[in-house]
Amino acid sequence: MKHDYIILLPADREAQPLWYRVAEERIVRRGRGTEWLPPALAEDAENAVGNAMLVLPPHATTLHFIACPGMTPKQGAAAARLMALEASIGDAEQLHAAVAANDDPDAPHVVAVASQSAMAHWMGWAKEHGIGQASIVPSALLLPAPDNGFVRAPVGSTEVVRGPDTAFEGDDQTATLIIGDAPVISLPADSIDEALVLALDEPPLDLRQGRFARRAPAMFDSARLRRMAIMIGLIALCGLLVSLITIIRLHAEASRLDSQTVALAKTIDPGIDDPSVAEARISGLLAERGGRGGFSGMMAGLMTAMQANPNVVLTNVSQSADGALRVQLAANKAEEINDVLIAFQEAGWRLSANAVQQRGARLVADIMVVR
């Protein structure tokens, strides 16, 4: 089960952060340190963490409240960001400014400014602890802005004070001077808990903007790539196994056919033991029994003889086990068949005419070539 996490960073970098585990829009567990994941999910942070939020102490950012009358909200936000960078101490190229969402062109734009090195540190720390996609929110903006005076409340282990256009740490030495005689309303701790839970989905200002913006989730995250690699490996292994089984079966079938070939060849020549020479030996024997060139030679001689009379056609051909060639010749007249037989005999072949039958208007002769 995934949980949401709120991590409240301390003012002192060496101190341990506070963490809240959130489920069903309420805080279900609190702790200190970095072991906020359940022990069973400690090795799988990607699948154990839903939303996450880093809450910064007041001194970590400088807040500017800048009104830009006469501009659209989008224009005002861009102008307020530039003015906040200009008003900040330090090189603007080394600073990072983020602007809170604001649809009211008359309301001041809230701009948070921090150093780029600090942003890199917070993001690196979050990634190291399995919450690399966490939003980064200034703690002071979790308090509601008062119309006048100040409100104060503990956010984590830090007392935070917010006015209409300022925010600071309540324990700061200058806090008393800034507050003076203005009224201060102390907010209950449970109201801050509610604000923290709401900020998980809708942060009042997320510093993850510009070059530090949250990256869209990759189509193929590392876990999915690992699973795909395993599946591809299994598919390749299955394919290899199928190929090996097929090769083994084909080899077994080839061995069986070789054995049958040798067994059949032995019925003609008992001296044949190797299937690789069986075909050549049998062809040689058939050629000796059936004439020059075996079957091919007899057919070649027959085709040549049939050129003596183009009216003669070959209707059937077969070769018996003893090598003799049996053919059927058809023609309109017996003389036409005789022309072919004479030409075949003159080529050196010995023939035997078994029968001559009348089939319709054609004569069919059964001929056997015995040599």
User: What is the third-level CATH fold of 3-217?
Assistant: Nucleotidyltransferase; domain 5 (3.30.420)
- How many residues does the structure list for the chain? 371
The two domains 3-217 and 291-369 share their CATH topology (first three levels equal): no
Token pair for 196: 């923290």
The DSSP result for 226-294, as a single string, is: HHHHHHHHHHHHHHHHHHHHHHHHHHHHHHHHHHHHHHHHHHH-TT---HHHHHHHHHHHHHHHH-TTH
Q: For the structural domain made of 291-369, what CATH number should be given?
A: 3.30.1360.100
Q: Where are the domains of the chain?
A: 3-217, 225-280, 291-369
Instruction: Name the 3-class secondary structure at 298.
Output: helix
- The answer to whether 68 and 149 have CB atoms below 8 angstroms apart is no
Instruction: Kindly give the confidence (pLDDT) of every residue in the chain, 371 residues in length, as a single tens digit, with 9 standing for 90 and above.
Output: 788 999 999 888 888 999 999 998 899 999 999 888 887 777 776 677 889 999 999 989 999 999 998 899 999 999 999 999 998 888 889 999 999 999 888 899 999 999 999 999 999 999 999 888 999 999 999 999 898 999 999 998 889 999 988 888 888 888 889 999 999 999 998 899 999 999 999 999 999 999 999 776 566 667 778 888 999 999 999 999 999 999 999 989 888 888 877 787 777 777 788 877 776 776 666 555 544 446 777 787 888 888 888 888 988 888 777 777 888 899 998 889 888 888 888 887 888 777 788 888 889 988 888 65
**Rounded distance between C-alpha atoms, residue 232 and residue 252, angstroms:** 30
Q: What is the pTM of this model?
A: 0.58
**Rounded distance between C-alpha atoms, residue 208 and residue 97, angstroms:** 10
**Rounded distance between C-alpha atoms, residue 108 and residue 64, angstroms:** 9
Token pair for 29: 């567990």
Q: How many CB atoms lie within 10 A of CB 170?
A: 20
